[in-house]
């Protein structure tokens, strides 16, 4: 068996997602909502609390404020489309950001 | 560093939230959206209905609220010339074919994007208003990963982050090569735009091998070896047989690329990043001449970045921290602030890859050549922990970072547009380009934030024009400044390798009438209804 065939049976993972199974083909983002921590780590956290964007954890930002900012972008922040972060994922993410404690490792703003 | 206040965020959210929640714009054709210029409203609505039948209700965005993400860009657009009419998001090649059929029927122009984060060039926005975004992000499968050959076959929605995670989860011995905003952008999108990265695999299109293209009439073309019966070399051999076609589908509107093969770099046993810190702006010429022979003979194997002080500082600082006046920042002020941060006026990043023995043999040769330019040659021994050194250490190993988005918030509410002329990799060229860019940008009241990406024999001069998109006056100046730069650089034969949607036609003119004519003939033959991305790279 070639390595190609071996690998084609390894479950393909989405960005930070749990293993989704399926031989040879990756599952799609909208099939399995990713947990908010994963989305934060693989998208938001590269800027927020990392010298680029303002710190948003531990501030009690209301979820209803987070959702439209993610969708429309704000200033230097890109907009994120429903094809990147689904509505269901965004609802969970906004809630998580609102409720999450500040991370002392975050810095910058 | 001042951030947005909680009150600012809530105020902004209030405006957006009202839009998202408003029933008044929940129906198709609601609000003030731009429609395709030659498509009556009822025909547009009928097309939207057919698209919904193909991809499902939730994956067609045809009202103002749900189209909002597709309108966002950092570039100036005072006259609303780059406003999409909506978006449609297929999840399969079959759906792409069906969408193209509808587009042909209704003459609905489609602007394909992979993830739509073409940062300095207009994000997802189209070359002209009214085009519907063909958002391919949902097509996000890694279809093949050959661990012997180090090749992958991916769909357009696969981000560098996704492939990075796959490699890590499966402990595969390969590195990616990323553009500066890897986590949220697509391998396919960046490669088709002929973007560059900073490992030895930095020329992305050079490392591309085989693609599947959906033509306007629904034909599925597999380039290179892809259409050979029982082929197993689609991702191994680039050139196939007869005319090489892949190139005509890059920076192009001749088809919709639905699969792309790429080569990955074997993970080296040892990796050692360097920075050469040069004190003066005019050192750019000497450093360029020092880099060139090592890029040509491959002693420096990776895409070298010569980063201007201001480009670097803008990643992590805002303008008012350095200079409170509206006038351009004086060189001496910039130099002093850079020095406080461990930076020179130019900071040249390269790396060595291989074994300890190979690096030990090469390093003294490079040190001696760069020391002769007057620069300080530094490694992690001196620079570990410096945020800029760490940023480039990440980039030169294909790691994930979004830190360069920081540049966008340099002035006011943020805004940026990139101009990237190419030149031969010679000192006199970089000296001349820097002088011209600085003259034009300072004339229009902007700060010159440069980076040079040095390939083998050429270099890309990446000039980030940072302005406040919240100010119409500043947006207008940014637009005029960009037009003057494109024009005056072009007069010297220095044309852009890529362009913002706002200057696609201007740049295309500089490449000559014959070029445009051949492109027009190809377009007419492959897409006679001009439904795929009209205006892309100046091709109607």
Q: What is the CATH number of the domain that holds A79?
A: 1.10.760.10
| Residue % of chain B over a pLDDT of 70 | 94
User: Which chain A positions have a beta carbon within 8 Å of B4's beta carbon?
Assistant: 54, 74-75
Domain identity same for A27 and A39: no
In a domain, B4, yes or no: no
Q: Do A52 and B137 touch (CB under 8 A)?
A: no
Task: Look at residue B40 and tell me whether its pLDDT is greater than 80.
Answer: yes
Q: Which among A55, A59, A75 has the least Cβ separation from residue B413?
A: A75
Q: Which among A14, A47, A108 has the least Cβ separation from residue B1?
A: A108
Domain identity same for A41 and A20: no
User: Which chain A positions have a beta carbon within 8 Å of B401's beta carbon?
Assistant: 46
Domain identity same for B294 and B423: yes
Distance of CA A70 to the CA centre of its chain: 11
User: Which chain B positions have a beta carbon within 8 Å of A10's beta carbon?
Assistant: 170
Among B266, B301, B326, give the residue marking a domain's end: B266
Smallest Cα–Cα separation from B481: which of B457, B455, B503, B452? B503
Smallest Cα–Cα separation from A4: which of B145, B209, B175? B145
Q: Euclidean distance between the first and final Cα of chain A, in Å?
A: 52
Domain identity same for A14 and A58: no
- pLDDT digit string, tens, across residues A32-73: 899 999 999 999 999 999 989 999 999 999 999 999 999 999
In a domain, B16, yes or no: no
- pLDDT digit string, tens, across residues B491-533: 999 999 999 999 999 999 999 999 999 999 999 999 999 999 9
Q: Mutate which of B10, B12, B134 to disrupt the A interface (most A C-beta within 10 Å)? A: B12
Task: Look at residue A13 and tell me whether its pLDDT is greater than 70.
Answer: no
Catalytic-role residue among B295, B397, B477, B498: B498
Q: How many CB atoms lie within 10 A of CB B488?
A: 14
Q: List, in sequence order, every beta strand (DSSP E) within B220-283.
A: 220-222, 256-263, 265-266, 270-278
What span, in angstroms and rounded, lies between the C-alpha atoms of B324 and B310?
A: 15
Phi, psi of B424 (to 5 degrees): -65, 150
CATH of the domain at B215: 3.30.465.10
Smallest Cα–Cα separation from B477: which of B495, B465, B489, B464? B465
Closest alpha carbon within chain B to A58: B6
| Overall average pLDDT of the B123-143 stretch | 97
Closest alpha carbon within chain B to A46: B402
Smallest Cα–Cα separation from B179: which of B241, B115, B229? B115
How would residue B220 be classed by pLDDT, with cut points 50, 70 and 90? very high
* Angle, CA of A92, A94 and A98, to the nearest 5°: 115
Domain identity same for B489 and B512: no
How would residue B38 be classed by pLDDT, with cut points 50, 70 and 90? confident
Both structure tokens of B101: 């059929």
Domain identity same for A65 and A87: yes
Domain identity same for A25 and A40: no
Interface A:B, Cβ pairs < 8 A: 179
Catalytic-role residue among B121, B201, B311, B448: B121
Q: Do A51 and B17 touch (CB under 8 A)?
A: no
Cβ–Cβ < 8 Å for B67, B130: no
Domain identity same for A38 and A4: no
Task: Look at residue B12 and tell me whether its pLDDT is greater than 60.
Answer: no
Both structure tokens of B465: 């024009």
Q: Please, is B278 exposed, middle or buried when counting C-beta atoms within 10 Å of its C-beta (0-12, 13-18, 19+)?
A: buried
* Among A5-14, B97-106, B214-223, B483-492, the least confident range: A5-14
What span, in angstroms and rounded, lies between the C-alpha atoms of B392 and B347?
A: 10
Q: How many domains does chain B have?
A: 3
Domain identity same for B117 and B179: no
Domain identity same for B245 and B306: no
What span, in angstroms and rounded, lies between the C-alpha atoms of B38 and B47?
A: 13
Domain identity same for B421 and B453: yes
Domain identity same for A64 and A26: no
What span, in angstroms and rounded, lies between the C-alpha atoms of B33 and B84?
A: 8
Q: Which among A10, A26, A76 has the least Cβ separation from residue B405?
A: A76
pLDDT of amino acid A109: 57
Q: How many CB atoms lie within 10 A of CB B110?
A: 27
What span, in angstroms and rounded, lies between the C-alpha atoms of B168 and B155?
A: 19
In a domain, B292, yes or no: yes
Task: Look at residue B198 and tell me whether its pLDDT is greater than 50.
Answer: yes
Phi, psi of A14 (to 5 degrees): -85, 175
Does the CB of B11 have a partner CB in chain A at under 8 Å? Answer: no
How would residue B424 be classed by pLDDT, with cut points 50, 70 and 90? very high
Domain identity same for A48 and A96: yes
What span, in angstroms and rounded, lies between the C-alpha atoms of B288 and B98?
A: 50
pLDDT of amino acid A23: 34
Distance between A56 CA and the closest CA of chain B, angstroms: 9
CATH of the domain at B506: 3.30.43.10
Task: Look at residue A4 and tell me whether its pLDDT is greater than 60.
Answer: no
Domain identity same for B102 and B191: no
In a domain, B8, yes or no: no
Does the CB of B221 have a partner CB in chain A at under 8 Å? Answer: no
Q: Do A69 and B140 touch (CB under 8 A)?
A: no
| Residue % of chain B over a pLDDT of 90 | 92
User: Which chain A positions have a beta carbon within 8 Å of B161's beta carbon?
Assistant: 15-16, 42-43
Q: Which among B9, B183, B470 has the least Cβ separation from residue A43?
A: B183
In a domain, B5, yes or no: no
Range of the domain at B242: 142-266
Closest alpha carbon within chain A to B416: A76
Catalytic-role residue among B70, B198, B349, B497: B497
Q: Would residue B511 show up in a list of annotated catalytic residues for this protein?
A: no
Q: Please, is B493 exposed, middle or buried when counting C-beta atoms within 10 Å of its C-beta (0-12, 13-18, 19+)?
A: exposed
Domain identity same for B409 and B316: yes
What span, in angstroms and rounded, lies between the C-alpha atoms of B275 and B391?
A: 12
Domain identity same for B243 and B303: no
Q: Which among B1, B13, B146 has the least Cβ separation from residue A65?
A: B13
Domain identity same for B308 and B414: yes
Domain identity same for B482 and B367: yes
CATH of the domain at B454: 3.40.462.10
B 370-409 near A (Cβ less than 8 A): 387, 400-403, 405-406, 408-409
Domain identity same for B125 and B214: no
What span, in angstroms and rounded, lies between the C-alpha atoms of A65 and A97?
A: 11
pLDDT of amino acid B456: 86
Helix axis angle, B356-371 relative to B284-296, nearest 10°? 150
In a domain, B15, yes or no: no
pLDDT of amino acid B34: 84
Q: Do B13 and A46 touch (CB under 8 A)?
A: no
Listed in sequence order, the residues at least 6 apart from B213 whose beta carbon sits closer than 8 Å to its beta carbon are: B220, B221, B222, B223, B249, B254, B255, B256, B257, B258
Does the CB of B146 have a partner CB in chain A at under 8 Å? Answer: yes
Q: Do B144 and A78 touch (CB under 8 A)?
A: no
CB contact burial B54-82 (16+ within 10 A = b; e otherwise): bbeeebbbbbbbbbbbbbbbbbbbeeebb
Range of the domain at A27: 1-32
How would residue B102 be classed by pLDDT, with cut points 50, 70 and 90? very high
Distance of CA A10 to the CA centre of its chain: 23
pLDDT of amino acid B24: 36
Domain identity same for A26 and A72: no
Q: Would residue B498 show up in a list of annotated catalytic residues for this protein?
A: yes
- pLDDT digit string, tens, across residues B49-66: 999 999 999 999 998 889
Rounded to two decimals, the pTM is: 0.92
DSSP codes, A18-77? PP---SSS---GGGSPPPHHHHHHHTGGGTBTBTSBPP-TTS---HHHHHHHHHH--TTS
Domain identity same for A3 and A37: no
Q: Would residue B349 show up in a list of annotated catalytic residues for this protein?
A: no
Domain identity same for B132 and B148: no
* Among A36-50, B8-22, B279-293, B348-362, the least confident range: B8-22
Cβ–Cβ < 8 Å for B508, B129: no
In a domain, B11, yes or no: no
What span, in angstroms and rounded, lies between the C-alpha atoms of B434 and B448?
A: 9
Task: Look at residue B27 and tell me whether its pLDDT is greater than 60.
Answer: no
Task: Look at residue A27 and tell me whether its pLDDT is greater than 80.
Answer: no
Q: Looking at B22-125, list the stretches that DSSP marks H as alpha helix, in order from N- to C-terminal side.
A: 41-55, 68-71, 93-106
Q: How many domains does chain A have?
A: 2
User: Which chain A positions have a beta carbon within 8 Å of B71's beta carbon?
Assistant: 79
Task: Look at residue A108 and tell me whether its pLDDT is greater than 90.
Answer: no
């Amino acid at each position: 068996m070639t390595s190609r065939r071996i690998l084609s049976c390894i479950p393909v993972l989405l960005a930070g997602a749990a293993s989704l199974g399926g031989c040879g083909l990756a599952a799609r983002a909208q099939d399995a909502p990713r947990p908010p921590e994963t989305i934060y780590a693989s998208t938001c956290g590269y800027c927020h609390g990392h010298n680029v964007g303002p710190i948003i954890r531990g501030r009690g930002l209301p979820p209803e404020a987070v959702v439209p900012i993610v969708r429309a972008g704000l200033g230097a922040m890109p907009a994120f489309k429903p094809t990147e972060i689904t509505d269901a994922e965004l609802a969970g993410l906004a809630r998580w950001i609102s409720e999450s404690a500040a991370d002392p490792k975050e810095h910058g703003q | 560093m001042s951030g947005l206040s909680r009150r600012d965020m809530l105020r902004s959210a209030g405006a957006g939230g009202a839009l998202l929640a408003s029933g008044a714009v929940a129906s198709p054709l609601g609000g003030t959206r731009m429609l395709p210029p030659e498509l009556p409203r009822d025909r547009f609505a009928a097309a939207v209905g057919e698209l919904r039948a193909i991809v499902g209700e939730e994956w067609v965005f045809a009202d103002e609220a749900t189209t909002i993400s597709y309108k966002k860009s950092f570039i100036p657009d005072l006259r609303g010339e780059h406003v999409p009419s909506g978006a449609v998001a297929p999840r399969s090649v079959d759906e792409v074919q069906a969408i193209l059929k509808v587009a042909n029927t209704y003459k609905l122009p489609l602007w394909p994007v992979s993830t739509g984060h073409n940062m300095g060039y207009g994000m997802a926005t189209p070359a002209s208003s009214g085009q519907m975004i063909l958002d391919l992000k949902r097509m996000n499968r890694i279809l093949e990963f050959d661990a012997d050959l180090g090749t992958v076959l991916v769909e357009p929605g696969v981000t560098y982050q996704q492939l990075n995670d796959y490699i890590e989860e499966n402990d595969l011995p390969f590195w990616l090569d990323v553009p500066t905003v890897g986590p949220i952008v697509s391998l396919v999108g960046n490669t088709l735009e002929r973007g560059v990265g900073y490992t030895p695999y930095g020329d992305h299109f050079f490392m591309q091998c085989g693609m599947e293209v959906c033509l306007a009439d629904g034909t599925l073309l597999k380039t290179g070896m892809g259409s050979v019966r029982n082929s197993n070399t689609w991702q191994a051999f680039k050139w196939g047989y007869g005319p090489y076609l892949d190139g005509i589908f890059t920076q192009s509107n001749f088809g919709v690329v639905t699969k792309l093969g790429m080569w990955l770099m074997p993970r080296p046993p040892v990796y050692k990043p360097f920075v050469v810190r040069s004190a003066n702006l005019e050192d750019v010429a000497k450093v360029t001449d020092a880099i060139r022979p090592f890029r040509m003979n491959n002693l420096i194997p990776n895409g070298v970045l010569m980063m201007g002080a201001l480009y670097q500082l803008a990643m992590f600082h805002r303008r008012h921290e350095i200079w409170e006046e509206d006038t351009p920042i004086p060189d001496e002020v910039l130099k002093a602030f850079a020095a406080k941060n461990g930076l020179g006026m130019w900071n040249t990043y390269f790396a060595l890859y291989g074994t300890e023995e190979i690096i030990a043999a090469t390093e003294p040769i490079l040190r001696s050549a760069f020391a002769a330019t007057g620069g300080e040659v530094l490694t992690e021994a001196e620079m570990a922990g410096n945020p800029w050194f760490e940023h480039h250490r990440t980039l030169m190993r294909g790691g994930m970072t979004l830190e360069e988005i920081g540049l966008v918030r340099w002035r006011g509410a943020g805004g940026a547009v990139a101009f990237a002329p190419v030149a031969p990799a010679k000192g006199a060229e970089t000296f001349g380009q820097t002088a011209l860019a600085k003259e034009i940008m300072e004339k229009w009241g902007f700060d010159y934030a440069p980076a040079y990406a040095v390939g083998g024999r050429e270099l890309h001069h990446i000039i980030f024009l940072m302005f406040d998109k919240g100010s119409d006056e500043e947006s207008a100046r940014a637009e005029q400044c960009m037009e003057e730069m494109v024009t005056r650089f072009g007069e010297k034969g220095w044309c852009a390798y890529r362009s913002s949607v706002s200057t696609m036609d201007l740049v295309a003119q500089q490449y000559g009438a014959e070029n445009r004519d051949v492109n027009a003939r190809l377009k007419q033959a492959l897409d006679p209804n001009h439904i795929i991305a009209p205006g892309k790279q100046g091709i109607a």
